[in-house]
């Protein structure tokens, strides 16, 4: 392969499918950090009502997850889908939709450095 062919190959633009787009809160993020966690949902898990510091973007990796965040409709999310938890919201429903299959998601929690990321109960 010639140098020119290598340059053309490495400069190609790959197809990108939109997964999620949502407005973000209008706030300063000085002294903030992002914490990324994989959250496992065993079969039949019914999660507790909770809330987070800052805001959360969640991406479903496996299984089906039923979620309801205050101000939003309850929805079942499948692999490749995302949801958003705005600042000051309560995660009212957080369940595995299956009694027999595990589920998991990647949670990106944006919050002030040192903040407790998850708290039980409503915000």
Q: What distance separates the 2 farthest-apart alpha carbons in the chain?
A: 62
* pLDDT tens digits, 50-108: 999 999 999 999 999 999 999 999 999 999 999 999 999 999 999 999 999 999 999 99
Q: For domain 36-114, is the CATH number 1.10.287.1770?
A: no
In Å, what is the CA distance from 70 to each residue of 9, 24, 57, 73, 82?
Answer: 47, 16, 15, 8, 16
Domain residue ranges of the chain, discontinuous segments joined by +: 36-114
* pLDDT tens digits, 36-60: 999 999 999 999 999 999 999 999 9
């Amino acid at each position: 392969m010639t140098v020119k062919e290598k340059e053309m190959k490495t400069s190609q633009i790959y197809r990108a499918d939109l997964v999620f787009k949502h407005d973000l809160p209008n706030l300063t993020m000085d002294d903030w950090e992002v914490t990324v966690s994989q959250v496992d949902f065993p079969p039949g898990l019914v999660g507790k009502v909770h809330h987070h510091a800052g805001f959360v973007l969640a991406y479903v990796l496996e299984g089906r997850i039923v979620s309801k965040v205050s101000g939003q409709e309850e929805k079942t999310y499948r692999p490749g889908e995302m949801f958003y938890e705005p600042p000051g919201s309560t995660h009212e429903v957080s369940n595995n939709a299956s009694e027999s299959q595990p589920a998991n998601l990647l949670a990106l929690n944006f919050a002030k450095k040192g903040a407790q990321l998850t708290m039980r109960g409503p915000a």
